[in-house]
Each structure stands twice: as C-alpha cells, then as structure tokens.
Amino acid sequence: MTLVGLGYDVHRFAEGRKLILGGVEIPYALGLDGHSDADVLCHAIADAILGAIGEADIGHHFPNTDPACEGMDSLEIVRRAVQLVQQQGGRILNIDSTLVAEAPKIAPHLTAMKANLARVLTLPEKRIGIKATTNERMGFLGRKEGVAAMAVASVEMPE
C-alpha cells in the first residue's frame, strides 16, 4: 500500500545562530530560531514521513521541552522518522519539497542538501525533489523574517 504524508515548518530568523537547511550550513548573517538546529527543510520532511505512517508530528517525538533535543542535528530527526518506517516494514519511495525564502539564495546549495538527505533517507538523489522559491515580498516571509518549507513523502507500507 502506498501512503502519502504532508509536512510544513516555519522558523523565524534570529541573530547568533547558524542557518542550516537540508543539513547544509548556508553563509548568512542570521540563522533560524528553534530548540534544535531549526532546519525547516528537515522538519517538514520528517513530518511528511511521520504523517504518511499515521504517527504524531516531530513536536511529539522531539519536544522542545526535552533538553536532549536542544541543538539537535535535524538530519537525525529525519533519520529517526525513516527508522520508524523501516521498523513497520515500510520504505520511503520519494520526497518532494519546497523551501520559501526571500534570502539568502538557496539554489547554490541544493545539490549538497540532496546529497545529505539521500544519505539519511537511503534514497537515490533523483527521488528527492527540493525546490526554492520566494514569497514575492509578501507577508512575514516576504519581509525576510524567516524561512518556511513544505514536503510530501510517498511511503510504501505492508497492508
């Protein structure tokens, strides 16, 4: 049986933090605020995977009240979502995602993001879509206040 899950995440920019997207540190004056490394792309992908198998979201699995999750590498969050799928006898078929940000430019980092995600998802890079767009200067994203990500995961599970 093929199942589909949808994930969404957004974090505001903050001073004194690194900007991590898809496990890649992107040179920028601001990072994203969050309990973990605040990697919105990984968070959206993990939520999409968890949703596909009927699990609670990453806030349940990795609560911001848990000191063990503070500063956590979000690729590890994705890795654990993949493990839950595998423990139930399933496998991820593909991921498609979109990052929304006015700045910084994300396109130069997409190849490295795909490589990181392919490794933890145990998927060929060609089965991982990552697109980048702007919010056409509208709303909080358009005012360069943060970054958002959306993702869809297709997962094959036993019936």
Nearest Cα residue to 77 out of 29, 4, 20: 20
Stretch 6-10: mean pLDDT: 98
Name the percent of the chain lying above pLDDT 70: 100
**d(Cα 46, Cα 98) in Å, to the nearest integer?**
14
105, with CB counted inside 10 A (0-12, 13-18, 19+), is exposed
Instruction: Determine if the peptide bond prior to 108 is cis (ω within 30°).
Output: no
Residue 101 pLDDT more than 90? yes
Question: Residue 86 phi/psi, 5° resolution?
Answer: -65, -40
The Cα-based distances of 10 to 38, 39, 109, 157 in angstroms read 9, 9, 19, 29
Grade residue 70 by pLDDT with cuts at 50, 70 and 90.
confident
> pLDDT for 111-148, tens place per residue?
999 999 999 999 999 999 999 999 999 999 999 999 99
Amino acid identity for residue 33 in this structure:
D
Q: What is the mean pLDDT of the chain?
A: 96
- Return d(Cα 135, Cα 25) in angstroms, integer: 22
Enter the pTM of the model: 0.96
- Residue 98, beta-bridge partner list: 131, 150
The stretch 6-35 carries a mean pLDDT of 97
Domains of the chain, start order: 2-156 (3.30.1330.50)
